[in-house]
Amino acid sequence: MKPWKVFLKFNKSDSEKELELFDAKSYFGGYLKIKRSYFNKLIKIIKMTKKYSTGKAIERVLSPEEEDLTLNPWMLLLIKDNEKGKSFWFFIKREKDLSGILVAIGPESFVEYNKQNSEAKREIKQIINYIIAYLNKFEVIILLPNNIA
């Protein structure tokens, strides 16, 4: 399976850093849709806690087929579970109705774990929900495209 490639650039003077994320379609028999209300709750949480932050860093996006999809409205959630010491990456495309679609996950260690886990679908959904329910359990950085105003 070819990965999604997300290139991050935090400052104009920095070089790009490449992340490889893996298509989430295989876990859900399609892409997982995330409701608009989820993002509304996430915005409130960002304003409430210092453990959640946002920034611009997504410079370029290449699909597994090497198609340049940079201009889509992307969000990259970099999540650290403080209790388990594990990290998760969720790559989300926002839709016109302000819902979102989970397109890819990472890092590779999380992907490998999920390949061998019969409960992967349930656990991924659970992590997504826990992010907005258990604020002290996680540290979250939400990266947005550099090309937005």
CA–CA gap between residue 58 and residue 19 (Å, rounded):
10
Low-confidence ranges of the chain (pLDDT < 50): none
| Residue-level pLDDT at 149 | 67
CA–CA gap between residue 32 and residue 35 (Å, rounded):
10
| Residue-level pLDDT at 28 | 76
Query: pTM here?
Result: 0.91
Give the relative orientation of helices 120-133 and 108-115 as an angle to the nearest 10 degrees. 130
| Residue-level pLDDT at 126 | 92
Of 59, 45, 67, 72, nearest in space to 141 by CA: 45
